[in-house]
Amino acid sequence: MTSEKIKKIILESTIDKVLKDLAVDSQRAVGKLVEMGSRFAGSGLSAQLIQKAQNLSANQNSPYYALIQDLAANTDHAKLKTFGLNIGYNAWGKGIKSLRQRQTELNIFLPWYLVIKIADNQKLAQVDRIIKEGKQLGIYFYFLDLRKSAAFNSAVTSLMRSHNDCAFVALFPAGQIIPQNMGAVMTCRSTLFLIDSQGSDFTAAAALLRQQKCFFGAYRAYDDASVEELIRGQWTEPIIKAKTPLAFLLAEKNTSDQAVGLSFRYVNNERQAQRYPLLLIDIVEDCNQINKYIYKNEFKPLSVIDAAALPAEPLLKIIKA
């Protein structure tokens, strides 16, 4: 057995124990989780993220402890463990190591994640190919944007299940999260489902996902016209009321860098203030911050692919274009 396999087995058993402890004593369990992370993180991106976690966990009165305890008590542990290992170990561990090696060989910057926009069943075989080629490069993290899908797409959940070594964040319209679709949703063990917090069906969808112990969060899209309203913070009230643990902010196409900067400063300030049991994430800028850890500069690699316009070309050629 290789040292990497032994390392992963130790991680899995430790995570199993920590998840059980989280539902009982979140502060003590978080301390153990951070300590474990610091032992396995090394000196790269994982170490930087662990340092941030240590800083946030230093506040003993933080509502994040209530958030974590509730998450552990009301989410399927197998889903939390699989998603956590796939992003922490596969994407941020061996994946980034592989990406750095390949970029040196190929003399090209490679993205650590991809956003793939999917409407209905457009070119899912091509999407499957792109993910397979992405994994060969070291890309194990994928945002699947299904906001334009007219109906719930079980073929997409099947696609995510077939790549159970990847971490997926899937954006769904809240109206598609209904009882008859939950069988397909619940089989996705490495997926974080995000639902639109602005939809009229949000509260019912969040309640259903929580009842079924799914790993889920909310998303809120913004642009230049709406960012000022966004940073006032009232939009989080129904999300907190629905006991949704995570909220992702998503800049629409052509949103200015200034608007993204406003959103990220708001998100960062709220994370530092820890005023309520909700973790905010700005998809664009938080991912770009990780880019900086990987590439040590401001370079922003290609990360968005539209399945409707996906050419029958290798992923590397698409990235180079």
219 token code pair: 């998303």
Q: Does some domain include residue 69?
A: no
What b-and-e string marks burial along 105-119, b requiring 16 or more CB atoms within 10 Å of the CB? eeeebbbbbbbbbbb
Q: Give domain status of residue 191, yes or no.
A: yes
Q: How confident is the model at residue 179 (pLDDT cuts 50, 70, 90)?
A: very high
* CB neighbour list of residue 216: distance below 8 Å, 6 or more residues apart: 192, 193, 194, 195, 206, 209, 210, 244, 246
Structure tokens at 115: 């956003």
Host H or E run for residue 5: helix 3-22
Q: What is the pLDDT of residues 112-167, one digit of tens each?
A: 999 999 987 668 999 999 999 999 999 999 999 999 988 898 999 999 999 999 99
In a domain? residue 85: no
Would you say residue 89 lies in a domain? no
Question: Residue 43 — pLDDT band, cuts 50, 70, 90?
Answer: very low
CA angle 53, 58, 60 (to 5 degrees): 125
Distances (CA, A) of 187 to 35, 133, 184: 31, 24, 6
What is the torsional sign of CA 256, 262, 266, 269? positive
Question: Which of 82-96, 101-115, 223-237 is the most confident on average?
Answer: 223-237
pLDDT at 31: 64
Q: What angle do CA 114, 306, 223 make, to 5 degrees?
A: 80
Q: What is the pLDDT of residue 37?
A: 57
| Bigger pLDDT: 187 vs 61 | 187
- Which residues make beta-bridge pairs with 142? 114, 168
Predicted pLDDT at 295: 74
Evaluate whether residue 132 is within a structural domain.
Answer: yes
Confidence (pLDDT) at 239: 97
Nearest alpha carbon to residue 99 among 115, 114, 82, 121:
114
| Buried residues in 58-90 as b, exposed as e (16+ CB within 10 A) | eeeebebbebbbbbbebbebebbbbbbbbbbbb
Q: What are the structure tokens assigned to 15, written together?
A: 């995570």
pLDDT tens digits, 54-83: 555 666 778 888 888 898 889 999 999 999
The total of structural domains in the chain comes to 1
Is residue 265 within 8 Å of residue 289, measured between CB atoms? no
Q: Is residue 135 part of a domain?
A: yes
Structural domain span for residue 296: 108-320
Which one is predicted more confidently, 55 or 84? 84
Q: What is the pLDDT of residue 23?
A: 67
Higher-confidence residue of 133 and 49: namely 133
DSSP 87: I
In a domain, 80, yes or no: no
CATH number for the domain spanning 208: value is 3.20.20.70
pTM > 0.85: yes
Q: For a pLDDT cut of 90, what percent of the chain falls above it? A: 52
Reduce the DSSP state of residue 102 to 3 states and report it. helix
Closest CA to 303 of 284, 286, 317, 289: 284
Non-local (6+) Cβ contacts of 31 within 8 A are: 57
DSSP 8-state symbol, 147: T
